[in-house]
Amino acid sequence: MGVKLESSWLELLGDQFEQDYFKKIKAELIQEKKKGERIFPPGPLIFNAFDSCPVEDTKVVIMGQDPYHNPGQAHGLSFSVPQGLPPPPSLVNIFKELTDDLHLPMPTHGNLESWAAQGVLLLNSSLTVRAFNAGSHFYLGWEKFTNTAIERLSQRKKHIVFMLWGNPARKKKSLIDPQGEHLILEAVHPSPLSAYRGFLGCRHFSSANDFLQATGQEPIDWQLPD
């Protein structure tokens, strides 16, 4: 796994690649591949969330847990799937909330690249997963890397919206610098197991845009292009 990262994130996080925990992640991934394990997303897309959303462009952070573990789904952006694949259940619930909150038509696909291009960092806590084994890399050490990203981003910039959905994401709240005057939006996870306990109806998308406009930033166009 060669480490290539968008330049502003490399400046912010480059020191992490020399840490022992990161060397362990790299060694473990190489070992699993030697054993014939399939790992998602493909190597060039592991850091896609960062590559698609430079530090200075970041206005919103949506935290996921780990990549989709079925073939073809994961492409390095939390909750997103490539064009042509049906949106998974959690993303369907995200779209339900989005359309209800902002009175938009239901998206016809699940590719969220247009959000990333506008400054939405679609970040998973763990950046890889073993095929057909959800959570299999959650304790590999990725969380140290992504926690550092959240902490440093929140120190570097002001007025970011952090959408923390589900208990693992909500634990990140303590990493967010209170001096940054950020907006932290919390809810249960959009999974079908929990969405009806407070995700649906949370109105996070309109709240995010209200905050962005109030702080002199362009709101996100949440409508996905066909």
What one-letter code names the amino acid at 4?
Answer: K
Residue 179: both structure tokens together: 């001096």
Choosing from 15, 20, 57, 66, the catalytic residue is: 66
Helix (H, G, I), strand (E, B) or coil at 220: coil
Sheet with 120-124, strands from edge to edge, namely 120-124, 60-64, 161-165, 183-187
Q: Is 66 a catalytic residue?
A: yes
**Which residues 6+ apart lie within 8 Å of 103 measured at CB?**
none
Question: CA 184 to CA 101: how far, in whole Å?
Answer: 18
The alpha-helical segments, DSSP class H, found in 63-108 are 89-102
- On the CB side of 91, CA atoms within 13 Å amount to 23
Instruction: Judge residue 111's burial from the number of C-beta atoms within 10 Å of its C-beta, 0-12 exposed, 13-18 middle, 19 or more buried.
Output: buried
* Residue indicated by tokens 């850091």: 47
Contact predicate 156/101, CB 8 Å: no
- On the CB side of 195, CA atoms within 13 Å amount to 15
Q: What residues are paired with 130 via a beta bridge?
A: 39, 133
The catalytic site residues sit at 66
